[in-house]
Amino acid sequence: MAGWFDARRRRLGMWAFVLNRITGLLLTLYLFVHFAAISALYLGEGAWDGTMRLFRTPPFLAFDILLLAALLYHGLNGIRLSLLAINVGVPRQKTVFWSLMTTGALVLAYCALRIFRVLPS
Amino acid sequence: MKDVSVLTGSRGYSSWAWILQAASGIVLVVLVTLHMAAQHFSGQQGILGYREVVAYLRNPVAFVVETVFAATVIFHAFAGLRAILIDLGVSGDAERRLSLGLTVLGGAMFLYSLVLTLVVVTR
Amino acid sequence: MTWRVRYRISRTTGNGSATRHDTFTVEIRPDETVLDGIEVIWARQDRTLAFRHACHHASCGSCGLRVNGVEKLPCVTTVQDVTTDGGTLTIEPLRSFPVLGDLVVDPAPLFKRMQQVGMPLIRRAEPFGEPGDFHRFENCIECGLCLSACPVMLASPHYLGPAALAAAERVIAEPREADVPSLLRLLDGEHGVWQCHSAFECTEVCPSDVNPAGAIMALRARLIRERIKRLFGRGALAAPSGGDRDTKRT
């Protein structure tokens, strides 16, 4: 198993695969956490709004940005894998990867600025 | 290494597993974007208050979209978990038990989210 | 001008159950090959070192091994490609093959997989047919580097692997009486193309321009098209299976 996840000295495709797996597992873990968090809805307005006040504090907002980064990476790399599976862009798969990741980075930057109120809602 | 001449033959399901995983992923790109736009890019710092959430979910279109989103993301997450565990060597009866277990767990999560949503919008 | 290079070589003892690394120092020109260094070590320092080599120009595929963790043919890898003066080269056998001794692996798993997809041309009788019948130029030198580099092979020993899948793509492109529907079913099955995770390491390490990852993606696209056709009752996957699992070609 160690060799399976060992991307040292490997190239882009292997790193992309390992990161896809890691972000997938983290997002799955977050899914459980998210379900637990939204259970506050059941407890009513006071419980929900109190929980959301906590989630608006800087550490949680920073976590939201990390989460968004994982989501963007996993989703955009997933688009790349789907294109490869229909034999689109195979000879230029590295270029496709970097193009998608650049787009993701720009989206992430914009979202971070919105979340931390640098940009207006 | 084990004798690779003993292949289990084509069952076809594994191609569907991959295809459904990819298809659900593509659908999720759209649904996650809608979910983020509706739920996390409105409200104060991207987080909705209780009344805003309830008002949003009482919209029938939003209710359907969020329900489909929940089902799709649970499927995609659990199918991904299954794929990783199969890669780690789970096969045969163990794989069937794993698939059943993940289906039951995923179904339970989806039902929970549906019931929670219904309870909240019907209050 | 020579460099002083340390070779840290994997040694296997006791029926392959114990592995250690022995370090040798050689004086070698930077434009000489990694294999040249191994041969000098064998000739002058340790005659018990086991390794494979034959053509010395990347056409036989015999000498494949890992240099600093990356699969290479040492006969065409120069020392300056992989280290510097005073540096260390870690030399290990290929992964995902049984180690027979030191740097020598058993290539049988590769050849069995190639046979599964019907790649070998088997002469059934004398005389040959027309000379053109047996002219087929293949890039693949069956070196096994792609299997060693593939992360799926490490976790899933039954996976057909990049070499066989690339070979299958060529069999389908030029069937020569091979049973294509059976082969497509094999590729569509549990240990076929769908186990690939698109790491592309196979293509990265291939010394012979086979592009196994590209072949696997082409096969996936073909299988998706066949599945769509099968929904309408057409296509190769809709046809009943005929013949043995090992597709035989003449």
| Residue-wise pLDDT tens digits, A28-86 | 999 999 999 888 888 888 888 888 888 888 898 899 899 999 999 999 999 999 999 88
Task: Name which of A4, A14, A91 is nearest C155 (Cβ-Cβ).
Answer: A4
CA atoms of C164 and C152, how far apart (whole Å): 14
CA atoms of B49 and C190, how far apart (whole Å): 48
Whether B10 sits inside 8 A of C186 (CB atoms) is yes
Looking at domain A2-115, its CATH architecture is: Up-down Bundle (1.20)
Give the chain B residue whose CA is nearest to the CA of C185.
Answer: B10
CA distance, residue B93 to nearest chain A CA (Å): 22
Mean pLDDT of all residues in chain B? 82
CB B95 within 8 Å of CB B86: yes
The pLDDT value given to residue C178? 81
Which pTM does this prediction carry? Answer: 0.83
Residue C129's alpha-carbon distances to B55, B99, C123, C124, C136, in angstroms, are 79, 52, 10, 11, 14
| Exposure class string for C86-105: b at 16+ Cβ within 10 A, else e | eeebbbbbbbbbebbbbbbb
The pLDDT value given to residue A3? 57
Whether B5 sits inside 8 A of C112 (CB atoms) is yes
CA atoms of C162 and C216, how far apart (whole Å): 7
The two three-digit tokens of residue A116, written as one number: 């931390």
Mean pLDDT of B97-108: 92
- Nearest Cα neighbor of C159 from C222, C113, C108 is C113
Per-residue confidence in pLDDT tens, chain C, 250 aa: 899 999 999 999 766 666 899 999 999 999 999 999 999 999 999 999 999 999 999 999 999 999 999 999 999 999 999 999 999 999 999 999 999 989 999 999 999 999 888 876 665 666 666 665 555 667 899 999 999 999 989 888 889 999 999 999 999 988 877 888 899 999 998 889 998 989 999 999 999 999 999 999 999 999 988 888 887 877 666 555 444 334 433 3
Which of the four pLDDT bands, split at 50, 70 and 90, describes residue B41? confident
Domains delineated in chain B = 13-121 (1.20.1300.10)
Beta-carbon contacts of C174 under 8 Å, excluding residues fewer than 6 positions away, are C136
Amino acid in the structure at residue C242 = G
Name C12's bridge partners.
C19
Whether B77 sits inside 8 A of A24 (CB atoms) is yes
Secondary structure element (H or E) that encloses residue C91, with its range: strand C88-92
The pLDDT value given to residue C119? 78
CA atoms of B59 and C78, how far apart (whole Å): 68
CA atoms of B86 and C119, how far apart (whole Å): 28
Model ipTM value = 0.86
Is A119's pLDDT higher than 50?
A: yes
CA atoms of C201 and A3, how far apart (whole Å): 13
Residue A42, helix vs strand vs coil: coil
Bridge-based pairing state of the strands C3-13 and C88-92: parallel
CA atoms of B57 and A23, how far apart (whole Å): 29
Domains delineated in chain C = 3-105 (3.10.20.30), 108-238 (1.10.1060.10)
